[in-house]
């Protein structure tokens, strides 16, 4: 188990992609600091697990720098180290400019951009210590490849800017932290993933989506790679799995056998 004795700090861990990643990492022998703003979702996560001695639950509002610092301190108090940071927490509003309230605009930037930066900043010292100890530290942002095309902006300018803000953190931090031996990458799905966020898209057929487990498996591949060699990448789940010989993706489909799966945003 190549995650054995490593500690992962995961935001947005209470459901969907975050929850699937927590469960995969626990199975691989990691310890996990699972953070989410929704305490109830964290308790549901805990109740779904057979053993929780390797799990530390933490209520966290990533938009609050003070809350982030407290969560990191508590995680270090529980396990003594942080070797992996997964910035998964995100806010979404697929709305055009006239109907995007400034409250929603601020929420997306506070959670997606500010939260990613704040969690990275707060975990950095621990990740540097992880590198010095030879524990292969990584940061993984759940954000899309940067593609400066108008079609990805025009329908929902605010959301696109917020998600690209996370990806700009990947681009910049990969270069900034390279000297420390910290790998920084982004991961994004080729197809839509069946999560609660899809409720923001009226009339969407979830039968044409994949399950969050595909991203958890792809994340495992990234976070068990050599952080010094694998950094500054914008991985697409399907392509990454294919590169590692995983070609049977039907097991990830909500409805196995479905051929016309819906493509996610930002994938050219």
Q: What is the distance between the alpha carbons of residues 126 and 198, in angstroms, rounded to a whole number?
A: 34
In 3D space, the residue among 202, 153, 140 whose CA is nearest the CA of residue 12 turns out to be 140
CB 190 within 8 A of CB 236: yes
Q: CA torsion sign, 236 to 241 to 242 to 248?
A: negative
Q: What is the distance between the alpha carbons of residues 234 and 224, in angstroms, rounded to a whole number?
A: 16
DSSP for 101-135, please give it. Answer: -HHHHHHHIIIIIIHHHHHHHHHHHHHHHHHHTT-
In 3D space, the residue among 88, 68, 72 whose CA is nearest the CA of residue 186 turns out to be 88
Residue 164 annotated in active site:
no
Segment 40-49 long-range contacts (CB within 8 Å, at least 24 positions apart): 40/14, 41/14, 41/15, 42/13, 42/14, 44/14, 45/13, 45/14, 45/15, 45/19, 48/23, 49/23
Query: Out of 159, 188, 220, 235, which one is annotated catalytic?
Result: 159
Q: How far is CA 104 from CA 34, 169, 190, in A?
A: 25, 21, 26
In the three-class reduction of DSSP (H, G, I as helix; E, B as strand; rest coil), residue 2 is classed as coil
Phi, psi of 72 (to 5 degrees): -65, -45
In 3D space, the residue among 104, 217, 220 whose CA is nearest the CA of residue 161 turns out to be 104
Active-site positions read 159
């Amino acid at each position: 188990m190549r995650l054995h004795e490593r500690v992962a700090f995961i935001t947005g861990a209470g459901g969907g992609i975050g929850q699937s990643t927590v469960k995969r990492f626990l199975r691989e022998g990691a310890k996990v600091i699972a953070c989410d703003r929704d305490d109830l979702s964290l308790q549901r996560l805990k109740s779904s697990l057979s053993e929780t001695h390797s799990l530390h639950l933490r209520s966290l509002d990533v938009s609050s720098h003070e809350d982030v610092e407290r969560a990191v301190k508590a995680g270090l108090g529980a396990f003594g180290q942080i070797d992996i940071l997964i910035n998964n927490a995100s806010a979404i509003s697929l709305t055009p400019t006239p109907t995007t309230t400034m409250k929603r605009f601020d929420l997306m930037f506070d959670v997606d951009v500010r939260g990613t930066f704040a969690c990275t900043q707060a975990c950095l010292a621990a990740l540097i210590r992880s590198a010095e100890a030879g524990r292969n530290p990584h940061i993984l942002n759940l954000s899309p490849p940067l593609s400066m095309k108008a079609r990805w902006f025009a329908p929902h300018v605010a959301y696109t800017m917020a998600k690209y803000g996370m990806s700009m953190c990947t681009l910049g931090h990969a270069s900034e932290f390279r000297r420390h031996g910290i790998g920084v990458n982004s991961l994004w799905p080729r197809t839509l993933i069946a999560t609660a966020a899809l409720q923001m898209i009226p009339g969407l057929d979830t039968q044409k989506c994949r399950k969050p487990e595909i991203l958890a498996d792809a994340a495992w591949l990234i976070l068990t790679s050599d952080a010094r060699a694998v950094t500054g990448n914008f991985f697409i789940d399907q392509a990454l799995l294919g590169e590692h010989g995983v070609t049977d993706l039907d097991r990830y489909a909500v409805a196995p056998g479905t051929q016309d799966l819906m493509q996610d945003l930002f994938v050219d």
